[in-house]
Structure 1
Amino acid sequence: MQQFDLIIVGGGLAGASLATALRDTRLRIALVDNQPPRAAAGWDARIYAISPVNAAFLEAIGAWKHLDASRMAPIRAMQIAGDAGGALAFSAFDTGVSELGWIIESSLMACELWESAKRQGNLTLFCPASPAQLEFRHDAAILQLGDGTVLSAKLLVGADGRDSWVRQAAGLAAINTPYGEKGVVANFSTEKPHRNIAYQWFRDDGVLAYLPLPGNRISIVWSTPDENADALCALAPEQLCDRVAEAGSRILGGLELLTPAVAFPLRLMRVPQTVAPRLALVGDAGHGIHPLSGHGINLGFQDAKELAALLAATQPWQDIGDERLLQRYQRARKEETFLMQTTTDGLRRLFREATPGLRTIRNMGLNLTNGLPFIKNVLVRYALGAL
């Protein structure tokens, strides 16, 4: 049996960032994953909007400076359109910052975090490897891998995604609410420059976002009912380009497909209990939100930051797997996670509801907010992580 202080199951963005954030601690860490990340061929269709507070976290753990700046695009402004004339606009200039966030490929961050983890003197990688059996004893978590290797640690962290094996093996409940929607993602080159503006349209057939990539390129996320998502993915490239351009009011002119459209099912997932004796969940293993806010991985990075700070501050005599200690992590993350889940779910419901008169009211709300600089500043400062 190999002894560690901490076992992290899942080497994705949340798990790898947690490991890297603990690089200068006394903790002996095991990181388990079934395969290392791979750089995308061309442009990765899976992208994230990284808030400034999480860019600062990535900088603090040494990853940000190694990211390829030529593959990252700053967001200078954001324009939101309702489904009946409502509009809301944010700009970095008006807020007094240089950018509202950055659009970055998932694989770009994943590969850099993985390389950082591989260089850590206090970390042992088990990859390729998969968890097979999990047992919690009063003084340790015991994890057996598929090849028979047995690991022991004071604390085990589940960072293995929304269908978390760890969460299920530990018996922690997850309340899933399917949306009956899929998120369609694809990348395009554009006829007109996007000027680093992110666009979002609340439409009758879902929510469409244009997110700027370097050069005249964008990535889209179209959250739409299952049937429409499947129909979009079945279109020929030229038809898809025309459909996406038309849905975006041809604001960037014609489009040319760079990566095929891919759809993934959407659901709200609440996990009432994200810690237990010798166990903590981070990232998508502990929560799931609608992608219209782009906050999913931002929540995951903040999970990693909070848990890393808690563990790094412990004394050698403290038990890092003590549930009383881990409850501090759960309390610290509960409010932001609940707020983002409730807000994104509420917005989705508001713009999917067909009640007579509601369309007018919700679009008036966008226009009213757009005319109130103080309220706009509060909203954007929260998105930036400045509140």
Structure 2
Amino acid sequence: MQFDVVIVGGGLAGLSLACALRDTRLKIALVESRAPTPAIGWDARVYAISPVNADFLQKIGAWKHLDAERITPIYAMKILGDGGAQLDFSAYETGVSELGWILESSLMACELWENVKRQSNLTLLCPAAPRTVDMGENAAVLTLADGQRLSTRLLVGADGRDSWVRQATGLPAINTPYGEMGLVANFECEHPHRGMARQWFRDDGVLAWLPLSGKRISIVWSTPDAHATELLALAPEELCTRVAMAGDQALGELKLITPATAFPLRLMHVPRIVAPRLALVGDAAHGIHPLSGHGINLGYQDAKALAELLAATAEWQDIGSERLLRRYQSARREETVLMQYTTHTLRRLFREKLPGLKSLRNIGMNLTNALPVVKNLLVRYALGAF
């Protein structure tokens, strides 16, 4: 079968790229091993979606179909250091209606999947898995496990941080394990959160409380492996007590509504995300610490940038040309490197035990909190205003 673009991976980045190419002349195939399924109750994996990415989801036709009762606006954010420092962000003070929104991963995935199922220029191959790939001068030929052969002018790896496409095509990835896990779970709260996200930099890691609809929160506790293992082994009532105490009991007593789970954390740098007939998007192209909440925002912006580049090419242009694809790589390098460097540096800053460093980092947070201009610049960057 002949295609212009073959996307391997039906996660959020791959699906959003497919949707963004819906009105182009391009013939697309999407290869995925299994369709997304709705979470039973509440999905423990949630994302903070920035306004610029909410706009992207709106433009590709997904946002308006999402269940509005499961979308929670963030009106404020409070960040607390490990020595009494505090940094506050407010939508009102920034001059916007929301700082962002909290959405469940499965909610977005299922809606994007329904969109691509209806897409006239797309062939959905599921269940399907890649077996081999031959990167030729004029086409990449992907052979699937069932023997089907897909010839394409451009192969896109959107298959996650352990990307088969990246490994099969020889693009190197530099992994730096953190020796930490990200523990996630959802809770009912005694008191309303009022749309406030909270984050604590603690001796045992970084704890984030993200608001869900009603009196519910989702947490991400980025913590050393041994501590994460200890938390996972706790009875639900004990875990609730530990999480509430770690968060200064800001929302009163907590009740567990989804079982806790955890995933290993690592920094992943991919020096080249393009090659002749090849481009990477999403977690296949980069990996960052979750303390920023920007992971899927980077992935959506990858999809947006690549889709815009492909849509703007003339019919006579070769969309698999490395010279053309380098424009996508250049467009995404600055934001990706900045977020990787920032999150990596923040993590190191709050994990180091050097004498006097604790006082310095907390003084820095308080100083930033006292400078409205600096705070406004930080939050506007996070909103995608630049």
Q: TM-score under structure 1 normalisation?
A: 1.00
| Aligned mates of 1:209, 1:337 — CA distance in 2 | 22
Shift of 1:247: 0.2
The within-5 A match list for 1:134-145 is 134-145=133-144
| Aligned mates of 1:176, 1:110 — CA distance in 2 | 27
- Secondary structure of the equivalent of 1:341? helix
Tell me whether 1:105 sits opposite 2:101 in the alignment: no
Shift of 1:141: 0.5
Shift of 1:75: 0.2
Q: Which residue of 1 aligns with 2:210?
A: 211
Tell me whether 1:283 sits opposite 2:282 in the alignment: yes
| Aligned mates of 1:191, 1:379 — CA distance in 2 | 32
Q: Which residue of 1 aligns with 2:121?
A: 122
- Secondary structure of the equivalent of 2:271? coil
Q: Which residue of 2 aligns with 1:162?
A: 161
Tell me whether 1:382 sits opposite 2:381 in the alignment: yes
Q: Which residue of 2 aligns with 1:174?
A: 173
Shift of 1:11: 0.7
Q: Which residue of 2 aligns with 1:54?
A: 53
Shift of 1:24: 0.3
The count of corresponding residues between Structure 1 and Structure 2 is 386
- Secondary structure of the equivalent of 2:362? helix
Equivalent residue letter for 1:341: Q
Q: List structure 1 runs of 4+ shifted beyond 2 angstroms.
A: none
| Aligned mates of 1:141, 1:9 — CA distance in 2 | 13
Q: Which residue of 2 aligns with 1:232?
A: 231
Could you list the per-position Cα deviations for residues 118-144 of structure 1 after superposition, in whole angstroms to 9, with x for gaps in the alignment?
100000000000000001111000000
Could you list the per-position Cα deviations for residues 78-98 of structure 1 after superposition, in whole angstroms to 9, with x for gaps in the alignment?
000000011000000000000
- Secondary structure of the equivalent of 1:239? helix
- Secondary structure of the equivalent of 2:268? strand
| Aligned mates of 2:109, 2:133 — CA distance in 1 | 26
Equivalent residue letter for 1:59: Q
Q: TM-score under structure 2 normalisation?
A: 1.00
Equivalent residue letter for 2:370: G
Could you list the per-position Cα deviations for residues 302-350 of structure 1 after superposition, in whole angstroms to 9, with x for gaps in the alignment?
0000000000001111110000000000000000000000000000000
Tell me whether 1:84 sits opposite 2:83 in the alignment: yes
Q: Which residue of 2 aligns with 1:8?
A: 7
Residue ranges of structure 1 left out of the alignment (5+ in a row): none
| Aligned mates of 2:124, 2:343 — CA distance in 1 | 36
Could you list the per-position Cα deviations for residues 260-285 of structure 1 after superposition, in whole angstroms to 9, with x for gaps in the alignment?
11010000000000000000000000
- Secondary structure of the equivalent of 1:269? strand
Shift of 1:234: 0.5
Tell me whether 1:299 sits opposite 2:298 in the alignment: yes
| Aligned mates of 1:76, 1:353 — CA distance in 2 | 32
Equivalent residue letter for 2:144: L
Identity of aligned residues (%): 72
Could you list the per-position Cα deviations for residues 184-231 of structure 1 after superposition, in whole angstroms to 9, with x for gaps in the alignment?
000000000000000000000000000000000000000000000000
| Aligned mates of 1:85, 1:47 — CA distance in 2 | 28
| Aligned mates of 1:24, 1:340 — CA distance in 2 | 31
Shift of 1:382: 0.2
Shift of 1:377: 0.2
| Aligned mates of 1:290, 1:237 — CA distance in 2 | 26
Tell me whether 1:184 sits opposite 2:183 in the alignment: yes
| Aligned mates of 1:69, 1:386 — CA distance in 2 | 24
Q: Which residue of 1 aligns with 2:26?
A: 27
Residue ranges of structure 2 left out of the alignment (5+ in a row): none
| Aligned mates of 2:43, 2:238 — CA distance in 1 | 21
Q: Which residue of 1 aligns with 2:318?
A: 319
| Aligned mates of 1:84, 1:339 — CA distance in 2 | 26
Shift of 1:367: 0.2
Report the RMSD for the aligned CA atoms in angstroms: 0.3
| Aligned mates of 2:326, 2:248 — CA distance in 1 | 48
| Aligned mates of 1:110, 1:260 — CA distance in 2 | 21
Shift of 1:172: 0.4
| Aligned mates of 1:133, 1:180 — CA distance in 2 | 33
- Secondary structure of the equivalent of 2:330? helix
